[in-house]
Amino acid sequence: MAKAAAAGEKNEIEQLREKLRYHEYRYYVVDDPEISDAAFDRMMDRLKELEAAHPELITPDSPSQRVGGAPREGFQTLRHARPMLSLDNAFSYDALRDWDRRVREGSGHEKIEYIAEHKFDGLSISLQYEDGMLARGVTRGDGTTGEDVTPNVKTIRSIPLRIEGATLKKAKLNGDFEVRGEILMPRKSFEAMNRQQEQSGGKIFANPRSAAAGSVRVLDPSITASRRLEFFAYYLLVDGKVPFVKHSDSLQVLKQLHFRASDDWKPCAGIMRGTPREKNFLTRLTAWSSRLTP
C-alpha cells in the first residue's frame, strides 16, 4: 500500500508541474491566461504541500522553485539588486493564524505589529533612480532577472521622471534608490480598451491584470502610452536594503516623493487580536478591493 501511495503522489506531482508550466506560459509569456489566479494558486499550493511531504522529489525545474515567468525575447534582461519575491496567500483564517505563528516564531517576538494594506494586482515593476532621475524600469521576470521596459514605464504619468533634491533631502534620501510597485489598468480604461479592441478586430483581454502586463511588455512605447495605466508604489530600497525600520515609514516617504501610493492602510496589533476599529478597517479594505476589478 505504501508503494502504491508513493507512486500516486509522484504521478500527481508530475501532473501538477506540467499544468503549472503550461499556465505560467499562458499567463507570463503569452499574456493570455486560461484560468483564474485563485485556481492557479490552489494548484501551486498543492504542489508545495506534496513536495514538502516528499522533499526527495523536489527538482530544480519545478514551478515551485521559482517566482515568476522567464523574461521574453526582445527585451534586454537585468538582474535585480534584491530578489523580487511574490506574496504568499491564505484562503482561510486558520491559514492566516498559522502564518502569524510562523512569523512570531521566526522573529522571536510574541507581539508583532502588521500593516494592513491593499494587495495590488497588476504587473510588478522595479523603478531605479540615479541622482534623482528615473534610470530604469524593470519587470519582476523570474524574480532574479527581469525585462528592461524603461521607455514604456516612462509613458505612465503617475511615475515621476525626476525627484527634486529638496524633496529627497526632506525624506532623508540621496538620489540613488529603488521603488517597487504595481502597474495597474483601472476598470474604466480596461473596458474602454476592450471596446476599442472589439471594434478594430483586435485581441480581447481576459482581465485588467493581463491587460496591464500586455500593455507594458510590448516593444512599442506608444501602445503603453495609449492604455492609460496607473502605478502604485509600495516598497522602497536603498542599496538593495530597506532604509526604514517600519514599513509604514516607507509608505509615508513614498508619498513624500510624489509617488502614487495607497492611503488606505493601517497598523494592526496582530492578526486576530485587533481592536473593533481595526477589524472594521479590514472589512472596509476587503469591500473596497472587491470594487477595483470586474
Which positions are annotated as active-site residues? Answer: 119
Q: How far apart are CA 76 and CA 97, in angstroms?
A: 42
* Residue 261 to residue 235: CA distance in whole angstroms: 10
Burial of 104 (0-12, 13-18, 19+ CB in 10 A): middle
The DSSP output letter for 132 is: T
Residue 238 forms beta bridges with which residues? 241
Return all residues near 262 (Cβ < 8 A) that are at least 6 apart.
117, 118, 120, 232, 234, 251
Cβ–Cβ under 8 Å, residues 7 and 26: no
Strands (E), the chain: 77-79, 113-116, 123-130, 133-139, 145-147, 177-184, 230-237, 266-269
d(CA 33, CA 37): 9
Question: The C-alpha cell of 111 is what?
Answer: 507581539
Q: What is the DSSP string of 204-221?
A: PPSSHHHHHHHHHSSS-H
The residue behind cell 510562523 is: 102
3-state secondary structure of 53: helix
| Alpha-carbon span 115 to 267, nearest angstrom | 5
- Cβ-proximal residues to 263 (8 Å cutoff; 6+ apart), any chain: 255
Q: What is the DSSP letter of 57?
A: G
